[in-house]
Amino acid sequence: MVHHLVRKRGIPVLASSRSDPAAPWPCTLFARYSETHLQASLYLRFSVPVCGFSQDQTFTLIYDADNLVPGVNSIKPVTKSPPQDQLVELARSGNAQLRVLALTIKQPCPIHCPLSAGSLGPKSGFDVPFHQLQKIAQATEIDVLLDYNWLHTDNRAFFDKLIKHPEELAGLTEDDKYTTHHRRANWTIFSPVDQEEPPPYAPASHKRSRQSEFPT
């Protein structure tokens, strides 16, 4: 059975590429696991205006346990609090326990993106959020600012295992109902910028057989 490390509908966080810490971007963090099958995945979901769509589109960055680099991930107190308006958005209660979830991954994460042919570009006037998402999507070092109060005490032991010993876990498989309306890609789906593209993401073929439901 798959469980949620944080609430089912996700929690508000600020995410940034470690190479660009001054530009954190709001998104939603999901964290799901199966203790029985030793599987876990983290998800960052963004909503941004996209050219060709009348409504904002969701992009979900997938951080499977087996894509995390062992021995370098951590969750630690912040050294500088965000502005008050951002703090209000992040906090579960008045006494927020701010933490930075620092992740390092082996290769840029896969992404669930809208069904569309070709690359995707920002809607006119919304270049900043779109390109910030692109930076985070192609980064292999990511920082996520969150209120640790969202993580239930009963789940903290498994969460620590995911962060400190990801090599002991596999990633969760995708929910077919979700992938019916989204396609799996990598950061190169975004309109190109002046940077060298990495090799396309190839889903791991060695993962154990497992069943799960993607967060909705």
- Could you report the per-residue pLDDT of 34-73, keeping only the tens digit for each? 888 899 999 999 998 888 888 888 999 999 999 999 999 9
Q: What is the pLDDT of residues 141-195, one digit of tens each?
A: 999 999 999 998 889 999 999 999 999 999 987 765 556 677 888 888 886 544 4
Q: In terms of Cα–Cα distance, which of 19, 16, 60 is closest to 41? A: 60
More confident residue, 209 or 142: 142
Distance CA 198, CA 114 (A): 21
C-alpha to C-alpha distance for 70 and 179, rounded to whole angstroms? 29
Amino acid (one-letter) located at 141? E
- Tell me the residue length of the chain: 216
Helix (H, G, I), strand (E, B) or coil at 90: helix
Per-residue HEC secondary structure of 138-193 comes to HCCEEEEEEEHHHCCHHHHHHHHHHHHCHHHCECCCCCHHHHCCEEEECHHHECCC
- Which residue do the tokens 């589109």 mark? 57
Tokens of 128: 């900043």
Dihedral sign of CA atoms 196, 202, 206, 207 in order: positive
- pTM of the full predicted structure? 0.84
Per-residue pLDDT, averaged over 69-89, amounts to 91
Q: Of 156 and 114, which is predicted with more confidence?
A: 156
First-last CA distance in the chain: 16
Q: Scan for tokens 């059975």, then name that residue.
A: 1
